[in-house]
Structure 1
Amino acid sequence: MNAPEETVVLDRREGPHGEVVLRRQGALLQIIANGCFLMDTSDGRSERLLVRAALAEWSAGDGAAGRGGRPSLLIGGLGVGFSLCEAASEPRWGRIAVVEREEAVIDWHRTGPLAAFSARALADERCTLVHADLVAYLHGHGTAGHFDVLCLDIDNGPDWTVTDGNGSLYSPAGLAACRARLAPGGVLAVWSAQRSAAFAERLRNAGFSRVRTEEIPVVRGVPDVVHLATIPA
């Protein structure tokens, strides 16, 4: 039997939202927030599907028919960079903005170990990295403009948030803020570690249509999912 791979802490920071840690286990890099495992560099299928499914949903909807051109994208959460890299690899995207609240995570991508994954994407002229809390950013007035697509991957899902403050993002007020940032016909895509019928109902009550989920199989346990919803054009 092979011995378990050693886990090495590469950086540990105490920020306004608690502790964030970057560690290496074998060839993998892992991000831990307040003792909760968030993600690692092992796969990224579900994070990439989040972006691909959102683009497909927008392309098939009234937003593409009414606006044409390349859609703009707002990604909530930088993580290990899979969603950003997927977006930057797709020429059909126009403006790409990524909002990340943890300065440590931004540093790990700009000058740290995660730069190996994201440097090319961050160098793309379409991409902008914003250091801000996503909840506050969405509620800001006139500072960011509208986006055709909003992809959220800041928690383990609407029912499993990293910090208590993130819960407001999935509330009626938070979903109203998401709607306000979307252009007519815009698409909201939310990554989750499990289905949430309650969240799907909240999306409908918030005025979204075409509410559905797309599953991503995992090695063990229930599939990850992407919640998709559209606003009228």
Structure 2
Amino acid sequence: MLTPPATPVTVDRREGPYGEVVLRRRGTHSAAGEVFEIIANGCFLMDTSDGRSERLLVRAALTALDEQNGEDLPAGPGGRRAPHVLIGGLGIGFSLAEAAREPRWARVTVVEREPAILDWHREGPLSPYSGEALADPRTELVRADLLAYVREAPAAGRRFDALCLDIDNGPDWTVTEENSSLYSPTGLAACREALAPGGVLAVWSARPSPVFENSLRNEGFCRVRTEEIHVARGVPDVVHFAVRPA
């Protein structure tokens, strides 16, 4: 088996509203397979090599909702209201694809601020990872700044049963300075208010953050925990979970 080239190939490079965004490719169609990478302002964000943690972000949020309600959430009319999930950051599309595979989500809203990433999914090289999910009638794709969207949600009559956020390398390792406000007391309070009572907040991170766990508790969340996910590159990813009290 051939080894993918050490030097990645730049597929697209754009200057977006928050700086430079680059899509790179390693490997080829015929050898070890393609691996796409998203780089923002020179910082590696994610790639297509291993989506376990991104999928768990959504899957475990639904499990936490099940636990909150003491039983499985219903899939259709006639039972309890089926849940609405907001995915913060389209990225590679693994979280969206996971949500679309699960019939118990009544609605799936994805908020992405980078026009380039939206284009790569709608009609570009990343469409194989999300095309089917984007075509799902439950899916709503919104171009917006995540924190602004979350802050405005209650006033607009929107509340979510789960917020699954993956816009950085973690609360302690943000891609842009603006992102740090999401993890601030004000940002976490906005997340809490955007959740329905008993709703779940799930935040992806490249490493654990005890400080962030304390911040979640200080902002009124309960059942705060961190789950490690072992991935191919060796260093575990983590997902921080918290619940808005019912």
TM-score (norm 2): 0.90
Contact in 1 for aligned 2:50/2:231 (Cα 8 Å):
no
Does residue 225 (structure 1) correspond to residue 211 (structure 2)? The answer is no
How many residues of Structure 1 are paired with residues of Structure 2 in the alignment? 233
Q: Who is 2:93 aligned against?
A: 81
Distance 1:196 1:223 in 2: 13
**What CA distance in whole angstroms lies between the structure 2 residues aligned with 1:135 and 1:207?**
18
Distance in 2 between the 1:182 and 1:213 partners? 19
2:70 matched to 1:58? Answer: no
Shift in alpha-carbon separation, 1:215–1:113, aligned structure 2, 3 A: same
Written as runs of structure 1 = structure 2, the 5 A alignment for 1:128-147 is 128-140=140-152, 142-143=155-156, 145-147=158-160
- 1:158 maps onto 2:184 in alignment: no
Superposed displacement of residue 2, structure 1:
5.8
Tell me if the contact between 2:206 and 2:237 (Cα under 8 Å) persists in the aligned partners.
yes
Partner of 2:31: none
Aligned partners of 1:40, 1:222: CA distance in 2, in Å?
15
Alpha-carbon RMSD across the aligned residues, in angstroms, is 1.9
User: Within 1, Cα distance between the matches of 2:52 and 2:140?
Assistant: 23
| Aligned residue number for residue 82 of structure 2 | 70
Corresponding residue number in structure 1 for 2:16:
15
1:8, distance to aligned residue in structure 2 (A): 1.3
CA drift of 1:222 comes to 3.7
Q: Which amino acid aligns with 1:76?
A: G
Deviating 4+ runs (over 2 angstroms): 1-4, 62-69, 141-144, 218-222
| Residue of structure 2 in register with 1:148 after alignment | 161
Question: Which deviations, in whole Å up to 9, do the C-alpha atoms of 1:170-200 show, x marking residues without a partner?
Answer: 0100000001110010000000111100000
Unaligned runs of 5+ in 1: none
Residues 11 and 24, structure 2, Cα contact 8 Å, conserved in 1: yes
**Distance in 2 between residues matched to 1:86 and 1:160, nearest whole Å:** 25
Once the 2 structures are TM-superposed, how far is the Cα of residue 64 of structure 1 from its aligned partner?
A: 7.0
The alpha-carbon deviation at position 218 of structure 1 amounts to: 2.6
Residue type matched to 1:94 in 2?
A: A
After superposition, the Cα gap between the structure-2 partners of 1:230 and 1:169, relative to the gap in structure 1 and judged at 3 Å, is same
CA contact (8 A) 2:200 2:241 kept: yes
- How many Å separate the matches in 2 of 1:39 and 1:113? 15
Query: Quick check: 1:64–1:185 contact (8 Å CA) kept in 2?
Result: no
Secondary structure of 2:193's aligned partner: helix
Measure, in 2, the Cα distance between the counterparts of 1:20 and 1:53.
29
Tell me if 1:197 matches 2:210: yes
| Residue 197 of structure 2: aligned partner | 184
CA–CA distance in 2 between the matches of 1:226 and 1:172?
19
Give the AA of the match of 1:106.
L
Asked whether 1:92 is paired with 2:104, we answer: yes
Partner secondary structure for residue 231 of structure 2: coil
Residues 47-71 of structure 1 deviation map (CA, whole Å, 9 limit, x = unaligned): 0011111110011104979993321
User: 5+ residue gaps in structure 2?
Assistant: 28-33, 74-78
Identity among equivalent pairs (%): 66
Separation of aligned partners in 2, 1:221 and 1:30? 17
Q: Given residue 132 of structure 1, which amino acid in structure 2 is its aligned partner?
A: A
3-state DSSP of counterpart to 2:220: coil
